[in-house]
Amino acid sequence: MSERTVAVLGAGTMGELVLAGLLRGGHPAGRALATARRPERAEQLRATHGVRVVGNAAAAAEADVLAIGVKPQDADALLTEIRDSVRPGTLVISLCAGLTTAFFARRLPEGTPVVRVMTNTPALAGAAISAISPGAHATDEHVALAEELFRPLGAVLRVPEKQQDAVTAVSGSGPAYVYLFVEAMIEAGVLLGLPRATARELAVQTALGSATMLRESGEHPVTLREAVTSPGGTTAAALAELERHGLRAAVLDALGAARDRATSLAQQNT
Ligand SMILES: NC(=O)C1=CN([C@@H]2O[C@H](COP(=O)(O)OP(=O)(O)OC[C@H]3O[C@@H](n4cnc5c(N)ncnc54)[C@H](O)[C@@H]3O)[C@@H](O)[C@H]2O)C=CC1
Ligand SMILES: O=C(O)[C@@H]1CCC=N1
């Protein structure tokens, strides 16, 4: 990867995380480009990362790998802008929720390899999970390049493209569900009389510890939950309330809604 020039087109929240990961992984800043819509944003990217910030067409003409970090609704306009500048064999990597590799292929020169990646914001802490799917013209080598680009952000895995909308529902949007749950635990702690700082420390460390246990023990969540739940005890009382309020059904419906939204983004942007 280090001998290739990588451009992040639309370096917003996710694009900047990809850029930062690339540079953290030792990629020379001289071989990294970014594009931005606002001049202040361009200046910020230059100052923070020491990369060149250029126009979309110039980036597309120079780079060997293009990471597309714009919102799904902005992808069509961006692709129209760069189409005539993309060189044969340039690898295009989409970060966009919902949009298919076929959407990109239709708007790029014939045969352009496209790889679709769904990552998530814990990339900021090197703890993302990035799911990678090759499009029609992407080879194993292209997927390996995408893996190399996303590995500094955290874990990577390959998934068939037809699973990407479900992946988006689970892990792409997933951090928001976890933050909501932790936020609710903090508020509940405050309601029970704990100082806010104490409630925050207890809730955050409990989320971190529980996630660490899930990963390191390899146990099923049910087994870990049962180990916390004493007969007639406090946890059983709490879990009964969560079930009574339909937590499980709410999660099923929420992830279904996220998946459906990803699918409709694709339908609105064919
Ligand atoms: N935020 C998240 O947690 C995740 C987002 N994604 C996907 O990543 C993509 C980006 O999302 P965010 O980073 O959250 O959005 P964002 O709004 O922070 O970043 C998009 C950036 O693209 C820029 N942009 C738009 N059109 C442009 C153009 N023509 N030329 C240059 N720059 C342009 C915008 O100014 C903005 O800075 C989306 O497609 C989203 O579906 C995927 C996984 C997680
Ligand atoms: O909310 C969204 O549409 C993006 C995609 C996954 C996470 N954030």
What domains are there in the chain, each with its CATH number? 6-167 (3.40.50.720), 174-266 (1.10.3730.10)
Choice from 9, 40, 70 to test ligand 1 binding pocket (greatest atom count within 8 A of CB): 70
C-beta 98 within 6 A of ligand 2: no
C-beta 85 within 6 A of ligand 1: no
pLDDT of residue 2: 79
Whether 133 and 159 have beta carbons less than 8 Å apart is answered as yes
pLDDT of residue 269: 75
pLDDT of residue 65: 98
Whether 204 and 181 have beta carbons less than 8 Å apart is answered as no
Whether 65 and 5 have beta carbons less than 8 Å apart is answered as yes
Q: Which residues of the chain have pLDDT under 50?
A: none
pLDDT of residue 54: 97
C-beta 130 within 6 A of ligand 1: no
249-269: pLDDT as tens digits: 999 999 999 999 999 998 887
β-pair type (65-68, 6-9):
parallel
